[in-house]
């Protein structure tokens, strides 16, 4: 019984759920995470979907996964390797064993390991019977059988019984981690309100799993992950894509400009479009365009008309939007372009994450075509940077590219819910009706932005367009000196944004042996690795960049105080190329990975050690 | 033309003439389109600050600079997409697109078919000179088969689009055809387009004096053009000809030209034009006919009544506002599963 089993306290733990696409792995993972959050743990989750929708049953291609990393300490990543793997079929085991720690616990549904399924997964012998898993604590639970037994007597069809297998595994995990069943039971009651028999069945299966784990010898000890010390407040779990969408809604409310989104579905950015279609009560207009180009062009039209205009996409879509971004630069209209980066080039590995669109975002347009580039770095701070992107776009009258990536877009973490009224003010430079001094390209002396004059406003009729504009008046103008002046003004306008963004922060000492430089969605892994080094007494600090163009004004100063600088990115070296261009006086080392996977903390610390040892 | 009336305003043509020099070639058909629209805008009943003129790239697309309204000169082919954003963002605006045969049906073909399908209340004037003018004389998607141009020295080997067919095939609710040397008809059609609720496309057969001179001469001869032009009027029989003695009848599944008084043909046998008919069958046939066996059809060919995109969107917005549990974004941020720590 539970009391007889040893309880071991853990700092943090990583659990991975894997099964067929229809096995309910995402739901199990989410419910497990919610229960952990209620118990006060900090956490980070990451789903691992296959690119195919429903690949054939029991195949590797059809395996869907979900990883959650939770702890009593602050959690910044979804965890390197899993301490516990739940595998619902042989294919799930085969494809996920490499993400499981040696010595870790593996819970399998032993009933799913029939000959056919084993063969389909590509095993030549039954992994539950040969010695291949002897380095792990293997729990062979007959989940299918016990699920059926626990609903005996209920009038319920076979399909529904099969679907509730995930509750059995969840019950086992709740026992293993000393969790309450209450939150999950409440979820079941709410979700299946219309079908009392399904509620009863799922609750029974959940409880059966819990009890089963209590009785078996394979579980000799249970684990306790105490609550984390977190700032008091109200929290929720949020993915990067939802946080991005909500950041736009908040910016719309705060600025008083209606939200317009023009987008075309593309993995992994689609959720932002889908999310924003739900909020018509806030007058948010989400338009599913016929293609990527129409998405951004309609946003430019909406921006001219006075909306807070957004377009969202991923790498290939960013390529398609290039010409229109030039139009937004030339017309000096505010739009936000979100690029949820994925593995490229071309279609690449669409469901996997990467940071390889940076140079495209900075330079991928014809002509001298400067704009602001920002990068969010965690699922939750996508909210903050989406909001800031809107603020900078409108206040400086320029397009802004916001880079996120598949990892933080689909990943989720706990987020302390802010109050919209406490977010920074947004003051769009709207021109006043019948202002006799209004000129389309007359600029604010400090920021160099032009004014935003909206159709429908009396006395401000004017034309904008992609042909070069005459300074101040905005008429078409092909004079040589005017073109040079306008190119310089557009560049200087973006440069001056540096006066309105915070200084680059250093995590750790301001000088030392090694400065780790990173940007965007790698924050969690790089921070965790740097903190580990610092704990070991190493003189390592981190400068993680969110403001890419322009760079914070103190960037050079930050780089100047370390013996070595290493730039870590999920590409072949793009930010390092940019830093070498902007600050050629420093020597940079690099660490790159381009496998569609996030960094592992362990590989980063290994690299940092080598650099410190002078290798 | 049905239900077209001018609205009295204090505005005049001068309110819409811009201070920019018009740089089209002398004799270009675009001048007459510009002048017609400048005549129409004061009389639609829209405030001058509520007009937005949008264009893409090409000779036609310099249009916004020559109109004293709000305007966007966009990028090649994208006027329809830009205009869509303008209209959705502020449905109260009167949005007009100036485009050409290449801009709308080659590089912008995708946006062209989709704006029609969505039926946004946007007016599109397509200048069809069947050639690329601004790039100096390459063939366009409406250039007739076999034409010799700068990029087809041995003659084109592609079938052209007929814009009317494309409009109707794209679920277009309004299609009219004008010709640049008949500004009176063009003005009427611009009114009709303005009064139509939905995407209205006017194809203007436009001459390009430099690269495709007399391209429309067959349908606009110096003499007896009444014999090759059928000017459609809603509710009236499809009669044409200098002597008003020819008309269209339906024989089997085909339109046929009949002469009144011959073979017992009387006015009662002639088809009566119904621009509002939802079934596009006859409209499609009218869009297709051309000399030598038929006249070309000018006027409003189709004006079917369907709901507009923006009206349906505004309805969804007002429904959401009535029923939503969220009064502000804070409500949303605090909804669902939250945890007090």
Domain containing residue A96: CATH number = 3.40.920.10
Chain B interface includes A466 (CB < 8 A): yes
Strands, sheet with B51-55, edge to edge from the N-terminal-most edge strand: A463-465, B70-73, B51-55, B94-100, B122-128, B200-205, B174-179, B296-303, B229-231
Does residue A28 sit in the same domain as residue A156? yes
Three-state SS letters, A414-480: EEECCCHHHCCCCCCCECCCCCCCCCCECECCCCCCECECCCCCCCCCCEEECCCECCECCCECCCH
Cβ–Cβ of B52/A34 closer than 8 Å?
A: no
Interface of A with B in 67-96 (CB under 8 A): none
Q: Is residue A72's pLDDT more than 50?
A: yes
B85 to A297: CB separation less than 8 angstroms, yes or no: yes
| Domain that includes residue B37, residue range | 13-215
Hey, is the C-beta of B256 within 8 angstroms of any chain A C-beta? Answer: no
* B36 neighbors B190 (Cβ within 8 angstroms): yes
Chain B interface mutation, best of A256, A465, A473, A474, highest count of B Cβ atoms under 10 Å? A465
Rounded mean pLDDT for each run of 10 residues along chain B, 341 residues in total: 66 94 94 96 96 96 95 98 98 98 97 98 97 95 97 97 98 98 97 97 96 94 94 98 96 96 94 98 98 97 98 98 97 93 84
Q: How far is B328 from chain A (nearest CA, A)?
A: 7
User: Residue A180: helix, strand or coil by DSSP?
Assistant: coil
Looking at chain A, the whole-number percentage of residues with pLDDT higher than 70 is: 99
Contact A309 B85 (CB under 8 A): yes
Tens digit of pLDDT for each residue in A17-55?
A: 999 988 899 999 999 999 999 999 999 999 987 777 778
pLDDT at A49: 77
Total structural domains within chain A:
3
Residue B181 counted as domain residue: yes
Shortest CA distance from B320: residue in chain A: A281
Residue in B with minimal Cα distance to A477:
B20
Say whether both A206 and A244 belong to one domain.
no
Nearest 5 degrees, angle CA A204-CA A210-CA A214?
135
B73 touches chain A (CB under 8 A): yes
Count of CB atoms situated within 10 Å of the CB of B36? 23
CB B232 within 8 A of CB B238: yes
User: Looking at the structure, do residues A269 and A394 belong to the same domain, yes or no?
Assistant: yes
* Ramachandran category for residue A601: left, alpha or beta (phi over 0 → left; psi -120 to 50 → alpha): alpha
SS3 call for A86: strand
For residue A427, tell me if it sits in a domain: no
Instruction: Compute and round to an integer the Cα radius of gyration of chain B.
Output: 22
> How many C-alpha atoms does B231 have within 13 Å on its Cβ side?
16
Interface touch B50/A456, C-beta < 8 Å = yes
Distance in angstroms (rounded) separating the CA atoms of residues B298 and B300: 7
A331 to chain B nearest CA, in Å?
Answer: 9
CB-CB under 8 Å, A298 with B88: yes
Chain A neighbors of B17, CB-CB under 8 A:
none
Domain for residue B195, yes or no? Answer: yes
Q: Is residue A375 part of a domain?
A: yes
Please indicate, yes or no, if residue B296 is contained in any of the structural domains. no
Do the chains contact at A309 and B89, CB–CB below 8 Å? Answer: yes
| B28 occurs within a structural domain | yes
Phi-psi category of A100—alpha, beta or left, where left has phi over 0 and alpha has psi -120 to 50? Answer: beta
Average pLDDT of span A132-136: 95
Question: What pLDDT score was predicted for residue A52?
Answer: 75
Residues of B whose CB is below 8 A from A294? 78, 81, 84, 110-111, 114
Q: Give B295→chain A minimum CA distance, Å.
A: 36
Task: Give the domain extent around A175.
Answer: 2-224
Q: Which residues of A touch B337 (CB under 8 A)?
A: 34, 236-237
Q: Which of A388, A403, A420 is the last residue of a domain?
A: A420
A460 within a domain of the structure (yes/no): no
Identify whether the C-beta of residue A101 lies closer than 8 Å to the C-beta of residue A133: no
Same domain for A134 and A72? yes
Question: Beta strands A221-224 and A6-9: pairing type?
Answer: parallel
Question: By the 8 A CB rule, do B165 and B281 touch?
Answer: no
A313 to chain B, closest Cα gap in Å: 17
Q: Is A448 domain-assigned?
A: no
Is residue A234 less than 8 Å (CB to CB) from chain B?
yes
Are the CB atoms for A475 and A483 separated by under 8 Å? no
Point out which residues pair with B144 in neighbouring strands.
none
- CATH number, domain of A280, equals 3.40.50.970
Q: Which structure tokens are listed for A100?
A: 């499981």
Same domain, A170 and A299: no
Do residues A391 and A538 both lie within one domain? no
Question: Quick one: A529 and A559 in the same domain?
Answer: yes
The length of chain A in residues reads 615
CB-nearest to A465 from B73, B88, B90 is B73
Confidence of residue A2 (pLDDT cuts 50, 70, 90): very low
On whether both A202 and A269 belong to a single domain, the answer is: no
Report pLDDT for B5: 64
Interface test mutation site (partner A, options B81, B113, B336, max chain A beta carbons within 10 A): B81
User: Which one has a higher pLDDT value, B204 or A162?
Assistant: B204
- CATH code assigned at A518: 3.40.50.920
Report yes or no on B256 lying in a domain: no
pLDDT at A393 over 90: yes
The whole-angstrom separation of Cα A115 and Cα A128 is 12
How high is the pLDDT of residue A1?
A: 45
> How do strand B174-179 and strand B200-205 relate by DSSP bridges?
parallel
Q: Which of A224, A257, A286 is the last residue of a domain?
A: A224
Q: Which of B65, B114, B313 sits opposite A290 (nearest CB)?
A: B114
Q: Between chains, do B70 and A463 touch, taking CB under 8 Å as contact?
A: yes
Q: Is A294 on the interface with B (CB under 8 A)?
A: yes
Q: Which of A142, A111, A129, A128 is nearest to A213 (CA)?
A: A142
Same domain, A562 and A590: yes
- Examine residue A142 and state whether it is found in any structural domain, yes or no: yes
Contact A235 B330 (CB under 8 A): no
Q: What is the largest CA-CA distance in chain A?
A: 87
For residue A582, the Cα-to-chain-centroid distance in whole angstroms is 28
- Contact call for residues A589 and A567 (beta carbons, < 8 A): yes
Please check whether residue A32 touches B, CB under 8 A: no
For B83, the closest of A293, A301, A458 (CB atoms) is: A301
**A253 and A350 share a domain?**
yes
Burial of A82 (0-12, 13-18, 19+ CB in 10 A): buried
Strand partners, B52: B70, B95
Residue pairs spanning A and B at CB distance below 8 A: 201
Please report whether residue A185 resides in a domain.
yes
**Least CB–CB distance from B317: residue in A249, A283, A418:** A283
In this complex, do A299 and B317 lie within 8 Å of one another by their Cβ atoms? no
For the stretch A173-230, pLDDT in tens is: 999 999 999 999 999 999 999 999 999 999 999 999 999 999 998 888 999 999 999 9
How many angstroms separate the CA of residue B232 from the nearest CA in chain A?
Answer: 34
Q: Which residues on chain A are in Cβ contact (under 8 Å) with B64?
A: 463, 465
Chain A residues 506-565 within an 8 A CB cutoff of chain B? none
The answer, for A432 touching chain B at a CB cutoff of 8 Å, is no
Mean pLDDT of A256-262: 98
Which of A165, A192, A224 finishes a domain? A224
A441 contact partners, CB below 8 Å, separation of at least 6: A332, A450, A469, A470, A471, A472, A473, A474
Residues A44 and A112 reside in one and the same domain? yes
Compare CB distances from B81 to A279, A297, A476 and report the shortest one's residue. Answer: A297
* Contact (Cβ atoms closer than 8 angstroms) between residue A371 and residue A336: no
Whether chain B has a CB inside 8 Å of the CB on A34: the answer is yes
Residue B228 domain flag = no
Q: Does the ipTM surpass 0.90? A: yes
Question: What are the distances in angstroms from CA B61 to CA B112, B151, B179, B187?
Answer: 15, 22, 18, 19
The count of structural domains within chain B is 1
Q: Are residues A214 and A245 in the same domain?
A: no
Helix orientation angle between A381-396 and A240-255, rounded to the nearest 10 degrees: 40
Tell whether B319 is covered by a domain: no
pLDDT per position as a tens digit, A233-252: 999 999 999 999 999 999 99
Query: Which CATH number covers residue B209?
Result: 3.40.50.970
Q: For B322, name the nearest residue in chain A, comparing CA atoms only.
A: A281
SS3 A614: coil
Closest-CA distance of chain A to residue B194, Å: 18
Taking CB atoms and an 8 Å limit, are A250 and B329 in contact across chains?
A: yes
């Amino acid at each position: 019984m539970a009391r007889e089993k040893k309880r071991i306290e853990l700092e943090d733990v990583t659990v991975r759920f894997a099964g067929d696409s229809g096995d309910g792995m995402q739901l199990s993972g989410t419910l497990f995470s919610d229960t952990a959050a209620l118990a006060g743990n900090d956490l980070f989750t990451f789903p691992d979907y296959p690119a195919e929708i429903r690949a054939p049953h029991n195949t590797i291609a059809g395996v869907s996964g979900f990883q959650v990393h939770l702890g009593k300490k602050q959690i910044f990543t979804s965890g390197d390797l899993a301490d516990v793997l739940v595998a619902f079929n042989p294919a799930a085991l085969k494809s996920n064993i490499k993400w499981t720690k040696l010595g870790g616990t593996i819970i399998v549904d032993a009933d799913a390991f029939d000959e056919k399924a084993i063969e389909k997964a590509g095993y030549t012998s039954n992994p539950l019977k040969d010695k291949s898993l002897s380095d792990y604590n293997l729990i062979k639970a007959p989940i299918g059988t016990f699920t059926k037994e626990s609903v005996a007597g209920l009038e319920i069809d076979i399909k529904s019984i099969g679907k509730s297998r995930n509750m059995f595994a969840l019950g086992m995990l709740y026992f293993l981690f000393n969790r309450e069943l209450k939150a999950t039971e409440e979820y079941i009651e709410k979700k299946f309100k219309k079908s009392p028999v399904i509620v009863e069945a799922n609750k029974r299966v959940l409880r059966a799993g819990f009890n089963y784990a209590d009785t078996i010898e394979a579980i000799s000890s249970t684990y306790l992950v105490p609550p984390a010390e977190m700032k008091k407040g109200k929290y929720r779990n949020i993915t990067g894509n939802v946080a991005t969408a909500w950041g736009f809604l908040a910016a719309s409310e705060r600025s008083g400009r209606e939200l317009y989104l023009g987008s075309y579905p593309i993995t992994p950015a689609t959720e932002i479009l889908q999310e924003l279609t739900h909020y018509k009560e806030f007058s948010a207009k989400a338009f599913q365009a016929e293609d990527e180009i129409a998405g951004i062009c309609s946003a430019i039209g909406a921006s001219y008309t006075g909306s807070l205009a957004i377009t969202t996409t991923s790498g290939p879509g960013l390529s398609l939007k290039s010409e229109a971004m030039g139009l937004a630069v030339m017309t000096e209209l505010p739009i936000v372009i979100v690029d949820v980066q994925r593995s490229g080039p071309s279609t690449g590995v669409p469901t996997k994450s990467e940071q390889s669109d940076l140079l495209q975002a900075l330079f991928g347009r014809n002509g001298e075509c400067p704009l602001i580039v920002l990068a969010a770095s965690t699922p939750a701070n996508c909210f903050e940077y989406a909001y800031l992107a809107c603020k900078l776009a409108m206040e400086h009258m320029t397009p802004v590219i916001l880079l996120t990536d598949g990892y933080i877009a689909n990943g989720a973490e706990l987020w302390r819910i802010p109050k919209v009224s406490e977010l920074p003010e947004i003051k769009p430079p709207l021109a006043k009706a019948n202002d006799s001094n209004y000129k389309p390209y007359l600029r604010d002396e400090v920021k160099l932005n032009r004014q935003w004059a909206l159709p429908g406003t009396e006395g401000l009729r004017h034309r904008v367009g992609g042909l070069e504009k005459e300074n101040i008046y905005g008429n078409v103008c092909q004079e040589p000196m005017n073109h040079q002046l306008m190119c310089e003004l557009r560049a200087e306008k973006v440069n001056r944004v540096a006066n309105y963004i915070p200084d680059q922060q250093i995590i750790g000492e301001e000088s030392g042996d090694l400065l780790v430089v990173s940007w965007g969605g790698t924050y969690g892994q790089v921070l965790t690795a740097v903190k580990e080094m610092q704990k070991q007494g190493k003189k390592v600090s981190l400068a993680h960049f969110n403001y890419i163009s322009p760079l914070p004004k103190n960037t050079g100063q930050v780089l100047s105080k370390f013996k070595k600088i290493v730039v870590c990115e999920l590409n072949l070296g793009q930010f390092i190329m940019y830093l070498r261009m902007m600050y050629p006086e420093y020597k940079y080392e690099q660490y790159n990975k381009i496998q569609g996977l996030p960094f592992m903390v362990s590989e980063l610390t290994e690299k940092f050690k080598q650099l410190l040892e002078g290798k | 033309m049905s239900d077209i009336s001018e609205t009295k305003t204090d505005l005049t043509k001068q309110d819409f003439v811009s201070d920019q020099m018009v740089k089209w070639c002398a004799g270009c058909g675009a001048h007459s389109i510009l002048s017609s629209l400048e005549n129409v805008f004061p009389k639609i009943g829209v405030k001058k600050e509520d007009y937005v003129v949008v264009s893409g790239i090409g000779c036609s697309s310099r249009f916004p600079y020559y109109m004293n309204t709000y305007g966007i000169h966009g990028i090649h082919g994208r006027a329809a997409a830009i205009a869509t954003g303008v209209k959705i963002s502020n449905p109260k605006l009167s949005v007009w697109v100036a485009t050409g045969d290449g801009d709308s049906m080659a590089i912008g073909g995708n946006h062209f078919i989709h704006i029609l399908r969505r039926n946004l209340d946007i007016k599109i004037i397509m200048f069809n000179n069947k050639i690329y003018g601004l790039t100096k004389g390459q063939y366009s998607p409406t250039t007739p088969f076999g034409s010799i141009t700068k990029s087809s020295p041995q003659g084109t080997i592609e079938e052209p689009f007929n814009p009317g067919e494309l409009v109707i095939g794209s679920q277009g609710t309004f299609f009219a055809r004008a010709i640049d040397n008949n500004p009176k008809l063009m003005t009427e059609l611009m009114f009709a387009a303005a009064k139509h609720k939905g995407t209205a496309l006017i194809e203007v057969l436009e001459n390009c004096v430099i690269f495709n001179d007399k391209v429309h001469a067959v349908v606009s001869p110096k003499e007896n053009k009444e014999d090759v032009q059928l000017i459609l009027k809603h509710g009236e029989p499809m009669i044409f000809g200098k002597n008003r003695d020819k008309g269209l009848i339906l024989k089997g599944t085909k339109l046929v030209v009949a002469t009144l008084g011959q073979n017992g043909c009387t006015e009662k046998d002639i088809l009566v034009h119904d621009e509002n008919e939802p079934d596009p069958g006859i409209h499609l046939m009218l869009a297709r006919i051309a000399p030598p066996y038929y006249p070309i059809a000018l006027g409003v060919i189709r004006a079917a009544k369907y709901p507009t995109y923006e009206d349906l969107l505004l309805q969804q917005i007002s429904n959401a506002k009535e029923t939503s549990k969220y009064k502000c974004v804070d409500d949303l941020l605090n909804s669902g599963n939250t945890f007090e720590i």
